[in-house]
Amino acid sequence: MTDSHCPYCALQCAMTLTRDEGSVPPLVVAGREFPTNRGGLCRKGGTSAELLRAPDRLTAPLVRDADGVLREATWEVALDLLADRLRTIAVEHGPDAVAVFGGGGLTNEKAYQLGKFTRIALRSKNIDYNGRFCMASAAAAANRSLGLDRGLPFPVADLDAAHAVLLLGSNVAETMPPFVPHLSGARDAGGLVVVDPRRSATADLTEEGRGMHLQPVPGTDLVVLQALLHVLVAEGLVDEPYLSARTTGWQDLARSVAAWWPERAEQVCGVPADEMRRAARLLAAASPARGGAGAYVLTGRGVEQSRQGTATVTAAINLALALGLVGREGSGYGALTGQGNGQGGREHGQKADQLPGYRSITDPAAREHVAGVWGVDPEDLPGPGLPAVALLQALGRPGGPRALLVHGANPVVSAPRADAVADRLQALDLLVVCDIFPSETSLLADIVLPVTQWAEEEGTMTNLEGRVIRRRAAIDPPAGVVSELWIWSQLARRLGAPGSWSTDPAEVFDELARASAGGRADYSGLSHARLDREPDLHWPCPATDEGQAPHPGTPRALLDRFPTPDGRARFIAVDHVGPAEELRVDAPLFLITGRVLEHYQSGAQTRRVPALLAAQPTPFVEIHPLLAHRLDVEEGEEVELVTARGRVTAPARVTDRVRADTVFMPFHHPGTGSVNRVTNDAVDPISSMPELKVCAVEVRATRAAAPTSAQEAIA
């Protein structure tokens, strides 16, 4: 019996894995008591053991031959070939011609070692990861306003007693179901406020007097937040003593929201003015300043994956600060991290501009510290590279990367404007993919390397609370499957890289801890051995002097002061600019995207679990009954969605869960129903996060007798 954690989302639900050699797969998964999930598991977690013995598991290296066919090779042949190709490309085009694209599902040890490998073995600046699609805007906003990016700077269990929770852009009832019980206090008090243009399963939680569902025009969440803050100012509901003691910039911020009175906001966002007033008063009544039981503001991908994502999260933080919520027990602001190790993945070196410990790669002191741990000259470390969207766009172009190594990601399905991404991948001289299954990205690769998955490896993950947890191996991997730590050590040796390249996750973590020491995300007081003894430690957790008690970790950050130069949180004025694409004659509707209960990210794992695939076998398009009537579309009929980037097709689901001006598609499927083929790759100017969540679209009925477009039907 082995205690471990779920391989999927950042809630990192605790599990017990029991070996059963008589079953296939040879593990039985059961939920384990833990603060995040309290013994519960969602359908994905409950069926996760089936991933371990999927019939198409990769078990040998694959190398594309002269005929263009991927054929099995030995590890020696594959790694010798890879090292030779990497050396040749670096000599001919420079070290930055080799790029790396990582993933938010890699353990902390792998994320750390991948960043180190890129910068001192490949000597390349070009590394980023799919977390740029997940948390970049929330991270940018929190860093500049609060001085710290930790998804939830408090344990998720703190939400239980709150009487109000404002949840924007997150459908937790489907994406992380064990999170829902933590909203019970707010629901019982009638204080759950869900902001979503779609009536999601999470919005349903507000029914029967348990809260409010605000249903804005897609891309206008920022307007809702500005109106809520306007009401607080106008009605004297802000926490004046808190503002004086713990913040700066309040007067300028208050003036900036004066123009967003609720009636004006209603004209832009579509949410009735009275509903916004009621929501603002509800949050204020639960705030500490009014003697309430506690209130929280939480954001998710629905508001962050936008060209104004950083501004929207900043507005959410402004709202929470005005109410005096941040840095107080029982209240706060947080961002719901999506991927299993989205938090740790960005803390320790996968982001284009960061070194371990959440250090800036341009900071001379940070470069000196990390270079000292790595045993290299600080001058030998490259500078910041290209963020994910720009990196993918540059592949194979003059002056851009000629080779790409992909670890734990499937950008052919998950990246915006995915057809263009596939074109760029095919323009490369070399594409290498480490994966557990043949993904849509690996099918384009020149070399595919099979690697271990969750229950076959040791390591650590950092969940959405900043809690550092142990991943433990319960079974051996199939013959021929290795850890990326071994692959990078072998390549580093072949490439003559300096420094040590351990394949022991505990040793790699110890090096990570030293590299992070003194950084914002300080893990220097942690080790595998300590985490095995104390499974409830949150960063920062710095090392202490010999003879002193170990640091207890920081479950609740920001309580005493904000990690800014003056110790105060910063109000930052923002304003609404709207989505990158406006509705137009040939694209008169909004397309929004999201997840469904049964699937995760690009679906590369969940589509291999028979029960999950049977429950949601295909993509679909949610269409409001009024729009369906105008298009003469019936339930189950194929419809075509056309944007400026291409077209996709999927069956229609006629439902009033979406607005009449909006259609919704999940993004888990490849092929003709892969919605990210048509999503927008415009990016936030601060975070470089793409606008995956909303674009302008034309919907066409494919049946010959039907009107050919929504525009014609409306006309």
The last residue of a domain, from among 295, 315, 335: 335
- What is the Cα–Cα distance from 420 to 561, expressed in whole angstroms? 46
pLDDT in tens, 298-353: 999 999 999 999 999 999 999 999 999 999 999 999 999 889 899 988 889 899 99
Q: Which residue has the higher pLDDT, 266 or 337?
A: 266
Q: Which residue has the higher pLDDT, 642 or 713?
A: 642
Identify the pLDDT of residue 53. Answer: 87
Determine contact, residues 639/670, Cβ cutoff 8 Å.
no
pLDDT in tens, 446-500: 999 999 999 999 999 999 999 999 999 999 999 999 999 999 999 999 999 999 9
**Residue 694 domain-assigned (yes or no):** yes
Asked if 188 and 226 sit in the same domain, the reply is yes
Asked if 314 and 384 sit in the same domain, the reply is no
**Residue 575 domain-assigned (yes or no):** no
Identify the pLDDT of residue 707. Answer: 47
Domain count, the chain: 4
User: At 148, which CATH number?
Assistant: 3.40.228.10
Confidence band of 110 (pLDDT split at 50, 70, 90): very high
The last residue of a domain, from among 311, 335, 359: 335
pTM of the model: 0.96
- What is the Cα–Cα distance from 567 to 248, expressed in whole angstroms? 10
Asked if 436 and 512 sit in the same domain, the reply is yes
Asked if 603 and 673 sit in the same domain, the reply is yes
User: At 28, which CATH number?
Assistant: 2.20.25.90
Q: How many CB atoms lie within 10 A of CB 375?
A: 10
650 forms beta bridges with 639
Asked if 143 and 286 sit in the same domain, the reply is yes
Would the pLDDT of 149 be above 50?
yes
Asked if 161 and 304 sit in the same domain, the reply is yes
247 forms beta bridges with 569
Asked if 299 and 171 sit in the same domain, the reply is yes
Identify the pLDDT of residue 20. Answer: 81
**Residue 263 domain-assigned (yes or no):** yes
Determine contact, residues 225/231, Cβ cutoff 8 Å.
no
Percent of the chain at pLDDT > 70 equals 98
3-class SS of residue 422:
helix
- What is the Cα–Cα distance from 640 to 638, expressed in whole angstroms? 7
Confidence band of 272 (pLDDT split at 50, 70, 90): very high
Asked if 141 and 215 sit in the same domain, the reply is yes
**Residue 373 domain-assigned (yes or no):** yes
User: At 603, which CATH number?
Assistant: 2.40.40.20
Q: Cis omega before residue 197 (within 30°)?
A: no
Identify the pLDDT of residue 125. Answer: 98
Average pLDDT, the chain: 95
The last residue of a domain, from among 538, 570, 604: 538
Identify the pLDDT of residue 380. Answer: 96
Would the pLDDT of 21 be above 90?
no
**Residue 572 domain-assigned (yes or no):** no
Asked if 530 and 407 sit in the same domain, the reply is yes
Asked if 521 and 597 sit in the same domain, the reply is no
DSSP string across 587-602:
B-EEEEEE--TT--TT
Average pLDDT over residues 604-624: 96
**Paired tokens of 149:** 């990016």
**Residue 633 domain-assigned (yes or no):** yes
Average pLDDT over residues 9-33: 89
Determine contact, residues 167/192, Cβ cutoff 8 Å.
yes
pLDDT in tens, 195-228: 999 999 999 999 999 999 999 999 999 999 999 9
3-class SS of residue 578:
coil
User: What distance lies between CA 347 and its chain's CA centroid?
Assistant: 13
Helices (H), 147-181: 172-175
**Residue 556 domain-assigned (yes or no):** no
**Residue 185 domain-assigned (yes or no):** yes
Would the pLDDT of 22 be above 80?
no
Confidence band of 382 (pLDDT split at 50, 70, 90): very high
Q: Which of 697, 690, 695 is nearest to 306 (CA)?
A: 690
3-class SS of residue 282:
helix
Determine contact, residues 579/651, Cβ cutoff 8 Å.
no
Asked if 318 and 178 sit in the same domain, the reply is yes
What is the domain range of residue 363? 62-133+341-538
- What is the Cα–Cα distance from 416 to 399, expressed in whole angstroms? 22
Q: Could you tell me if residue 10 is left (phi over 0), alpha (psi between -120 and 50 degrees) or otherwise beta?
A: alpha
3-class SS of residue 695:
strand
Average pLDDT over residues 81-88: 98
User: At 507, which CATH number?
Assistant: 3.40.50.740
Q: How many CB atoms lie within 10 A of CB 371?
A: 20
DSSP 118: I
Average pLDDT over residues 704-708: 46
Cα three-residue angle 400-401-403, rounded to 5 degrees: 155
3-class SS of residue 361:
coil
Would the pLDDT of 25 be above 90?
no
- What is the Cα–Cα distance from 349 to 373, expressed in whole angstroms? 14
Cα three-residue angle 536-540-546, rounded to 5 degrees: 90
Average pLDDT over residues 244-256: 97
Asked if 325 and 466 sit in the same domain, the reply is no
Identify the pLDDT of residue 187. Answer: 98
Average pLDDT over residues 169-179: 97
Backbone phi, psi, residue 328, to 5°:
-130, 140
pLDDT in tens, 185-200: 999 999 999 999 999 9
Identify the pLDDT of residue 26. Answer: 80
Would the pLDDT of 504 be above 80?
yes
